[in-house]
Chains A and B, each alone.
Chain A
């Protein structure tokens, strides 16, 4: 069934949905025909009956809660170290049990394959010898750590915490946009926004039958304890943070509290005779597992960046010896490189002999001469991404760009092709959001579930962080670029 854009636009909805427009993107709440999807019916009815004023009050109450609980991120570049609450939208995003089942299976498969891939490239390099993935793409990646070659990691688990970004295509299919295999953040927003929503919409929450996510902290702790070095049955687990000036410090402190473990900084740790200790008032305490929220580069000034003051001298050698576990392992970033992304379906097939459950977005590599020509000829249509950037920086969104911007990116691509990829512009799905003025309008969203990898199987708490592009029409959901968050309800 096809419909013209006009047919969508002309459809009228009751208040507070009167400005709701449907278009080409998949809408989470409404069918293209304008009727509510059955699992959203409850919310739809609820919102129509709710006085506008009450919704506004709810929103205020939620903001207050976020602020009081200190659910904030730090804004850079001000000596005040100001803290802002992360913008959030009150209305939950719903995923059915059936959809979730597929997402879960797909992520489990994908992350397992990526973990096998990491183990392989840091040891035998079979996939490289077999020519499935070009060596150059690995060795030229700035996140490849040659120091990790031949290093044994506990249980062979390079990955522990993964946040994979999914989007929904216009046909409703979930596809993978990006893997975050280094130090993915945002899970604290998932957990706290659930607490807030349960308080604000208790009846609605109960009526919908939402799967709980509160066990994330315990599951994370269990996953980390499971990586304990041999002979340390009662491991001491700590969370290593760069400190209060890091923008994700709230999350570090939040997770440490959830797990009941120490939140440490590099200066709290010391390595002696290959053993890692933390300095406490009652003496040195041995540390066995480190959930580190510091990038590879900064973890040990002896082995990596010498100017790092966040790290611990000698930590890498203790890690190499197996006396302490780092989660995630060092060097996992090579597998979430945006150029490598294009090879992930092949990687899944290579290691697991399976077709990927979740597809990739079609991706062109500027490093390939043929694909580069195609990219350069279609800069007005593609989304071009710099391989080395994250957080929505270094990106060209073709259809929303000027001629000059396109030309500038064209030059950059020719200069440094390895650093760019291009993907067709995909309209992320839309979901109802409460906007200024009291109306409810569609905004673009994505989904970042958090995967706790434990080997062949993973624990994925049902839900994730739904990120919203709060500006009308915007496709950029990153919090650094005006994005916000939404609670994600996976139904029973």
Chain B
């Protein structure tokens, strides 16, 4: 599937501010079954946009607006091609748990196995795990499929019920939340089971009325869990689960950035100088589109300065990413 994405973010300040500095994580990732064919970022007031790739392969754009301004707009436009994964089985053998424990002991995916800023275990979380009977009783993949469904059933999607910086306990108690809460709660549970799990920030092409409702926040998020023994050469795969939409991710989920949780990959993150409050409005449109007419070349963005080094750090990481591509 080809999609065109237009993501408009506007900040309106209560009084003039200056020296805004901002990072943007919106560019769809290019890897495996997803390729970003075109990406443009427009900023008003005019600013020189630079970018880098972090070690997880996320593209981070950044810029600063030194002069006085009352508003700031960031418009991202992308064309992306997504294919659905074909090789995800219904279940994996119980022995997959041993592989997960071995992975755990090696510490390779340490950051996706321990608590993070928003994905913290708590008494409320354990209560929910008990209630949903989340335990290593079945194989990891079946368990995760079931958990996605249970999450969907146990929580009500309620826009604006929580703020971006709400701890998960708020949603755990009220059983209402937005996609971020769904994702954070699921991440905390999955990591608690000893399965590496990460947060994905991105876009969803909604097919139904119900799904568009889930998109009122415009951007979407879901989780990816590491399942050993599947994929090409049984090297294991990151499989996406979307507890908000109750599905395993296919060709409607467009991945922009991955991290431990929302705190690592907010679509925009910035600071400014001035005594002002800011009001944020976001609009996102994801439309199926035809394949771009001719060139599949991306818009060439000049890299900032001389940071020519590999964005991928730990060699194991690099290998894992490549294996996924096969």
Interface residues, chain A, with chain B CB atoms under 8 Å away = 122-126, 128-129, 134-136, 139-140, 146-147, 149-152, 230, 270-274, 301-302, 306, 313-314, 317, 320-323
List 29 A-B pairs, Cβ < 8 Å. A123-B313, A125-B314, A135-B107, A135-B110, A139-B110, A139-B111, A140-B110, A149-B54, A150-B309, A150-B313, A151-B307, A151-B309, A152-B307, A152-B309, A230-B306, A273-B50, A274-B304, A302-B21, A306-B271, A313-B21, A314-B21, A317-B52, A317-B62, A317-B304, A320-B52, A320-B307, A321-B52, A321-B304, A322-B305
The answer to whether A321 and B21 touch across the interface, beta carbons within 8 angstroms, is no
Q: How far is the CA of A135 from the CA of B314 in the complex (A)?
A: 11
- B312 on the A face (CB < 8 A): yes
The answer to whether B55 and A146 touch across the interface, beta carbons within 8 angstroms, is yes
Q: A147-B54, A321-B306 are in contact. List 12 more A-B contacts (CB 8 A).
A: A128-B107, A129-B314, A129-B316, A134-B107, A136-B107, A139-B107, A146-B111, A149-B314, A150-B54, A152-B307, A270-B19, A322-B307
The answer to whether B23 and A302 touch across the interface, beta carbons within 8 angstroms, is yes
Q: How far is the CA of A147 from the CA of B271 in the complex (A)?
A: 18
The answer to whether A150 and B316 touch across the interface, beta carbons within 8 angstroms, is no
The answer to whether B305 and A314 touch across the interface, beta carbons within 8 angstroms, is no
**Smallest CB–CB gap between B172 and chain A, Å?**
25
The answer to whether A314 and B114 touch across the interface, beta carbons within 8 angstroms, is no
Chain B residues with Cβ below 8 Å from A313 are 19, 21, 64, 271
Given known pairs A129-B315, A136-B110, A150-B313, the reply for A271 and B307 (CB within 8 Å) is no
Residues 89-125 of B, flagged 1 when their CB comes within 8 A of A and 0 if not, give 0000000000000000011101100100000000000
Q: Point out the residue from B48, B52, B313 that lies within 8 Å of A125, measured CB to CB.
A: B313
Chain A residues with Cβ below 8 Å from B108 are 135
Chain A residues with Cβ below 8 Å from B315 are 124-126, 129
By beta carbon, the residue of chain B nearest A267 is B273
Chain B residues with Cβ below 8 Å from A134 are 107
**Smallest CB–CB gap between A303 and chain B, Å?**
8
- B208 on the A face (CB < 8 A): no
Chain A residues with Cβ below 8 Å from B106 are 135
Given known pairs A135-B108, A270-B19, the reply for A314 and B62 (CB within 8 Å) is yes
Given known pairs A125-B313, A302-B21, A302-B270, the reply for A321 and B307 (CB within 8 Å) is yes
The answer to whether B308 and A152 touch across the interface, beta carbons within 8 angstroms, is yes
Minimum-distance CB pairs A-B, first 3: A135-B107, A321-B305, A149-B313
Chain B residues with Cβ below 8 Å from A139 are 107, 110-111
Residues 145-159 of B, flagged 1 when their CB comes within 8 A of A and 0 if not, give 000000000000000
**Smallest CB–CB gap between B54 and chain A, Å?**
8
The answer to whether B66 and A272 touch across the interface, beta carbons within 8 angstroms, is yes
The answer to whether B64 and A271 touch across the interface, beta carbons within 8 angstroms, is yes
Interface residues, chain B, with chain A CB atoms under 8 Å away = 19, 21, 23, 48, 50, 52, 54-55, 62, 64, 66, 106-108, 110-111, 114, 269-271, 304-316
Q: How far is the CA of A320 from the CA of B50 in the complex (A)?
A: 12
Chain A residues with Cβ below 8 Å from B111 are 139, 146
By beta carbon, the residue of chain B nearest A303 is B23
By beta carbon, the residue of chain A nearest B60 is A317
The answer to whether B306 and A302 touch across the interface, beta carbons within 8 angstroms, is no
Given known pairs A302-B270, A314-B62, A322-B305, the reply for A271 and B21 (CB within 8 Å) is yes
**Smallest CB–CB gap between B278 and chain A, Å?**
14
**Smallest CB–CB gap between A368 and chain B, Å?**
14
Chain A residues with Cβ below 8 Å from B313 are 122-125, 149-150
Chain B residues with Cβ below 8 Å from A302 are 21, 23, 269-271
Chain B residues with Cβ below 8 Å from A150 are 54-55, 309-313
Chain B residues with Cβ below 8 Å from A152 are 306-309
**Smallest CB–CB gap between B261 and chain A, Å?**
13
Chain B residues with Cβ below 8 Å from A322 are 305-307
Chain B residues with Cβ below 8 Å from A321 are 50, 52, 304-307
Chain A residues with Cβ below 8 Å from B64 are 271-273, 313-314
Q: How far is the CA of A18 from the CA of B269 in the complex (A)?
A: 68
Chain B residues with Cβ below 8 Å from A320 are 52, 307
